[in-house]
Structure 1
Amino acid sequence: MDERNAVDVGDADALRALASSCRPVVIRKHCSHWPAVAAAARGTDAAMAYLAQYDAGLTAEYFSAPASLAGRYHYGAGISGFNFLREVIAVRDALARISANALSERETGYMGSLPTEAHFPGFAVDNPSMLLDGHVRPRLWVGNRSTVACHYDSYDNLACVVAGRRRFTLYPPEAIGDLYIGPIDHTLSGQPVSMVAGVAEDTDAYPRFAAARAKAIDVELYPGDALYLPKLWWHQVEALDSINILVNYWWDGFSAGPDSPYAALLLAMIAIAERPASERAAWRAYFDHYVFRVDGHPLAHLPEEKHGVLGPLAQGNYGRIRTLVMRMLRGS
């Protein structure tokens, strides 16, 4: 696991270089200078009071579970339901419940993915990341001890620990077949999750999981530390202390337009996934040639001015290809 100090990764260009490698990197003390981290170091009351001063008075989704579950949020019996409750309450009430839980431990709770711009205006200005410009808006996660099920994100992620320790268990994208992924349209909170990672010890029922576990990277972060996590890396996140606060940034530094790779994946599912195996293999060859370009640019043998729509996307070809696709989808 690559580890760096904040001084080694000092600007947006350095972060772009990290993203190009598609490998996770721990950045120690990246946000140790934040006032929020200093407040959290003074204790639970100071940490929650610091957040409360930015509270915009909005509501948010609050997740809770009995203390007996030790904060392990997942499916319930089978996959028809979940083992936690969710409700929409005022942010200030959620902060109060999280604080009370830290003392009584009758339940665990958390709020996640709250845009600071809306829910805690001014927080990002007072606690900035030197790696990202103001166009990437941070989100706030606040809660008690919890284990967020192993999932992936389709954006690059910079996760900054403000309070409490965080343990990330990371699996590379190629481990997907060994993680026994659940449904993509009935999820805990948006993304599909592993049905086995961090949950099941029955390796006989999940024989391929051993191969995934052999590739796992375990990382523990402390207040002030950050983790750069590339898109599509699977990660289980454990908040280890009675109060935990994390700020994260999601962005896609290599997007050529508004269309996401995930949309292309879904379209391929309906266009290709149930065709005969031999035909799928043929399409794989075309994807490798035109999309993944395992042997370089598909028209490298021609002059660049003859590349047509396979020329650089930034030279108008993004819009030209998109127009072709939209016409096909409309059946025209």
Structure 2
Amino acid sequence: MMASIEAFQGPAASITIDDFAGCDRPLVIRGLVRDWPIVELARESDTAFARRLSELDNGTPVDTLLIPPGEDGLVGYNADLSGFNYEHHRVSLKQGLQRLAQYSREHSTAGLAIQSALISACLPGFVEQHDVSFLPPHIQPRLWLGNRVVTPAHFDEYYNIACVVCGRREFTVFPPEQVKNLYVGPLDFAPTGAAISMARLDRPDDPRFPKLREALKHAQQAVLEPGDAIYIPPLWWHHVASLERLNALVNYWWKPIMQGVPATHSARGFLLHGLLSMRGLSPAEKAAWRHLLDYYLFDSAHPAAHIPEDKRGILGPLTPELAEQLKQLVLKQL
């Protein structure tokens, strides 16, 4: 039996954003947004929930995936990995909700997923009544809405709090080191924008993915009800299954301000540049570079502690001015 994701200890009202600074494991936060008006409507009925979203919708097109019957609602690749198993459309939230209602009436097994819709752009009146009080206002919420769809295991490089507002969602999470057992697809060609696992969690005996069983030994799982939330640290793999005919989730992504400098640059660029510059090196060179990277980036000791503070150059405190200098140096290297 899979282990449960740990729950936040203490009342949800006592949480601050500092509780997540450096938190290295996922946490379930029961009832974090149970008092949101939209959650109360969802508890009343799917119809009441959908009607209120339609009233708030201003018609802005949002990214919508249509998954044909026979795919089990799984967002993924087609059979030969030449494309994806869905059609991509840009429609309004109201149109998406109308399609979901049609699927429900027809008992269709087709999947529909509205993904990462910026709420301030499509539901301008939503934020006034629905916010997470401990998150600063510049952290913009996004809406994920659909029927019984499954997003395979993937990771984000941001801190993430995801709040279930309608239906139920099952989260299965894996620590970052399980990347070696998850059979990740192409980094630059992924159905969700983020690279995904190609192994289905409900098919652990698939002979193409023999190491998946090892990954599942390290997995944790939780089902979230309307009003519940989950915190997911950066680079933790998470597989998300929507369990009802109508499901909705609001999430918040952010990066902390480090040493006074907003973390606006993507660490994913570091990975891509590493593929470009190091993949072709000899094993001895790779080993040597691993020592350098450990020393300058990953070890806890300060690599410039022996250098006078005013002579540390790009190894000094990361001020906005130094961040810009580093950016220009990287651009020159490219």
Instruction: Give TM class, smaller chain.
Output: over 0.9
Q: Runs of 4 or more off by more than 6 Å in structure 1?
A: none
The structural deviation recorded for 1:152 is 0.9
For 2:14, the equivalent position in structure 1 comes to 10
User: What is the aligned counterpart of 1:59 among 58, 61, 82?
Assistant: 61
Alpha-carbon contact 2:12-2:30 (below 8 Å) kept? no
The structural deviation recorded for 1:62 is 2.0
The structural deviation recorded for 1:237 is 0.3
For 1:144, the equivalent position in structure 2 comes to 147
Residue pairs, 1:140-289, within 5 angstroms: 140-198=143-201, 200-254=203-257, 256=261, 257-289=263-295
Residue pairs, 1:304-315, within 5 angstroms: 304-314=309-319
**RMSD value over aligned CA atoms?**
1.9
User: What is the aligned counterpart of 2:70 among 68, 72, 78?
Assistant: 68
Alpha-carbon contact 1:5-1:29 (below 8 Å) kept? no
Alpha-carbon contact 1:163-1:246 (below 8 Å) kept? yes
Secondary structure (helix, strand or coil) at the match of 1:2 reads coil
Secondary structure (helix, strand or coil) at the match of 2:14 reads coil
Q: Unpaired runs of 5+ in structure 1? A: none
Work out the CA distance in 1 between the residues paired with 2:280 and 2:200: 28
The 10-residue stretch of structure 1 (18-27 or 82-91) with the greater mean CA deviation from structure 2: 82-91
Work out the CA distance in 1 between the residues paired with 2:78 and 2:104: 24
Alpha-carbon contact 1:161-1:223 (below 8 Å) kept? yes
Q: Which amino acid aligns with 2:250?
A: V
The structural deviation recorded for 1:224 is 0.4
Give the direction of change, closer, same or farther, for the CA distance of 1:9–1:2 in structure 2 (3 Å limit). Answer: farther
Alpha-carbon contact 1:147-1:239 (below 8 Å) kept? yes
For 2:306, the equivalent position in structure 1 comes to 301
Q: Could you list the per-position Cα deviations for residues 247-277 of structure 1 after superposition, in whole angstroms to 9, with x for gaps in the alignment?
A: 0111111464432111111111111111111
Work out the CA distance in 2 between the residues paired with 1:298 and 1:202: 46
For 1:36, the equivalent position in structure 2 comes to 38
Secondary structure (helix, strand or coil) at the match of 2:245 reads coil
The structural deviation recorded for 1:319 is 2.4
Q: Could you list the per-position Cα deviations for residues 109-130 of structure 1 after superposition, in whole angstroms to 9, with x for gaps in the alignment?
A: 1211100100111111211111
Aligned residues: 326
Give the alignment's TM-score, normalised by structure 1: 0.92
Give the alignment's TM-score, normalised by structure 2: 0.92
For 1:87, the equivalent position in structure 2 comes to 89
Q: Unpaired runs of 5+ in structure 2? A: none
Work out the CA distance in 2 between the residues paired with 1:100 and 1:5: 41
The structural deviation recorded for 1:301 is 2.9
Alpha-carbon contact 2:151-2:240 (below 8 Å) kept? yes
